Amino acid sequence: MNNVQNKKRANKSRSPFFFTDSFKVLSLIIIISSILLIVTFTFDIVPPILNRGIQPATFPKALLVLIICLTLVVYILSIKFPWKKEKKLPKPFYITLYNFILFIIIAKTLDFFLAISVLSFLISYFWGERRIKALLLVSILFPIIVFVVFETILGLRFPPGIITNIYYK
């Protein structure tokens, strides 16, 4: 009897369907796929004489329709078999993501090497590393080694920037 009551209570306390992970994730997939499907209608149409088999837009269209249909199936199944609730993402995850944005900004505006160096330092620091020598190893020594190896072995030329320009003189 108690079990039945508990179950009823659990059902009542279940979040509304639009708050569930499955609804949010699958809706996002459907929305993005639908936008891309609309984009396929803007692709150029090839005149019949040049067209080989099917139009260039047909194959991506078919794929997107397939993705939308399969996503709907997953959603219907998720009503019967709900997804397990994922834990909230911890702070270091968001810090790592913000660091990626910072990396892009520094690499675009200042210097590619500096961006790697800063990101390595910040991630290592925010993940809990406090030893100065370890931080220097990760943020300065290792990126230098990687740069030199890629430059000498692969003959790679890194994009210009405030530090890279000094290196390339």
Touching another protein, residues 14-33 (CB under 8 A)? 21, 25, 29
Distance, CA of 119 to CA of 117 (rounded, Å):
6
Residue in 23, 82, 110, 129 binding another protein, rule: CB under 8 A: 129
46 contacts another protein (rule: CB under 8 A): yes
Stretch of 1-9, 10-18, 44-52, 161-169 lying at the interface with another protein (CB under 8 A): 44-52
The pair of structure tokens assigned to 162 is 């405030």
The alpha carbons of the chain give a radius of gyration, in whole angstroms, of 26
35 contacts another protein (rule: CB under 8 A): no
Residue in 17, 31, 34, 93 binding another protein, rule: CB under 8 A: 93
Contact 82, 105 (CB under 8 A): no
Name which of 2 and 152 has its Cβ closer to another protein: 152
Contact 112, 131 (CB under 8 A): no
Cβ at position 93, least distance to another protein in Å? 5
Could you give the residue ranges of the DSSP H alpha helices within 16-56?
21-40
Distance, CA of 30 to CA of 9 (rounded, Å):
32
Q: From residue 75, how far is each of 27, 34, 38 by CA, in Å?
A: 9, 16, 22
DSSP 141: I
Where along the sequence are the contacts to another protein (CB under 8 A)? 21, 25, 29, 36, 39-40, 43-44, 46, 50-54, 56-57, 59-60, 63-64, 66-67, 70-71, 73-74, 77, 83, 86, 89-90, 92-93, 95-97, 100, 103-104, 107-108, 112, 116, 119-121, 123-124, 127-129, 134, 137-139, 142-143, 146-147, 150, 153-154, 156-159
